[in-house]
Structure 1
Amino acid sequence: MYQEDNISLNKSDLEEFFIHHLNKIYAAKTLLVSELPELFDSVYFSDLREGILDTIEEVKKQISRMDEIYDILDISYIDANPNGLKGLIEDSFQDIKQHSENPELRDMSILFYLHNIESIEMASFQILEMLAVKLRINKIKQLIQDNYEDAKASRTLLLLINAKYISTV
């Protein structure tokens, strides 16, 4: 039997959900900042090297904005669950390292995984932005929206680099 949807979430449940998923993205972003410089030294394709540098700088800005969100909410980041996006990133870096002997495949793997990671982060930021609207926290909404725009720009850049890379292979 079909029943009319009547969704009822209280503000504290929404805040808890928001914080839990903000923590997941924060964990992923901090892992990216620590791992990407290691990849940079082994990248073969010069455009990808520039893309990685750009991504590192954008991720640092995103982390700074998330730090500001934690300050606004008067909470601290908690790394409660190593799975999720952080686990995907860890798996991605392991797969990339499997191609360490083949620079072309390693670069293709880097592009593949970075593009996928940015896509997932964009979707996550969109949902968090909607929650911030529902929670009526305009400053947080703007910070999340800025992170979404950065992730979108990084994804577009990686897509362009990937297209150029594939055309030169």
Structure 2
Amino acid sequence: MTDTPNSSLSPKDVKLEDNHLKRIFLEHLNSIYFGKQHLLAFFDEIEAIASLQQLKLAIDEVRTDTNTQIAHMDEIYQYIQKEPSKTSVLGIKGMTLEAYLSVIKAGKTPLERDVLILFYLQIIEGIEVTYFKVLKNLAKAAGYNHTYLDQPFDLAVENKFLFETIHKEYIS
């Protein structure tokens, strides 16, 4: 029988043990880690499709930031003495597939493709901001040094802002 939360408890009444928090943290870390690795190939695909030079440069910057974030996560794995464990990242794969299919649909102008690329990149960065924020909170609750996640979180926030700025300039 699996443990199920008691519906009469409030969130403040629920106390997670350290080993549960650490397991949840590791699951989330694996998800963002392998999601980031998937995004590297996606960035290559959409950079080739993008027409605006400013967008191409932004995608290249995000690719560099993604490699930096992966390196930081490698340090986190070392810190917690765990290895990355391959996990399904169907959500992010579905999002990138939808983005790719929307962008390559026949009859789209370069402007339309670029606007769609920017739209999906903003969504992806929003997901990353949320993931890193959750990881920071879980790390703190599990007793891990959550400052390891400051730079990856900050990069995700900066990248989201970068794509929002380009999008505003492009469609105004």
Same fold per TM (> 0.5)? yes
SS at match of 1:81: coil
**Distance of 2:161 and 2:151 partners within structure 1:** 15
The aligned residue for residue 76 of structure 1 is 83
Question: Which residue does the alignment assign to 1:106?
Answer: 113
Q: Normalising by structure 1, what TM-score? A: 0.88
Which SS does the other structure have where 2:90 is aligned?
A: coil
Please identify runs of 4+ aligned residues in structure 1 that moved more than 6 A.
none
2:160 is equivalent to residue 151 of structure 1 = no
C-alpha contact 2:62 2:159 (8 A) present in aligned 1: yes
Report the CA distance between 1:122 and its aligned residue: 0.4
- RMSD after superposition: 1.9
Q: Secondary structure, in 3 states, of the residue corresponding to 1:84? A: helix
Q: Percent identity?
A: 28
Superposition TM-score, scaled by structure 2 size: 0.87
| 5+ long unaligned stretches in structure 1 | none
Tell me how far apart the structure 1 counterparts of residues 39 and 8 of structure 2 sit (CA, whole Å).
Answer: 44
Number of residue-to-residue matches in the alignment: 165
Deviation at 1:160, TM superposition (A): 0.5
Counterpart residue number, 1:66? 73
Q: Which residue of 1 aligns with 2:46?
A: 39
- Unaligned 5+ segments in structure 2 are 1-6
Preserved CA contact (<8 Å) 1:27 1:86: no
Match of 1:132 among 139, 157, 162: 139
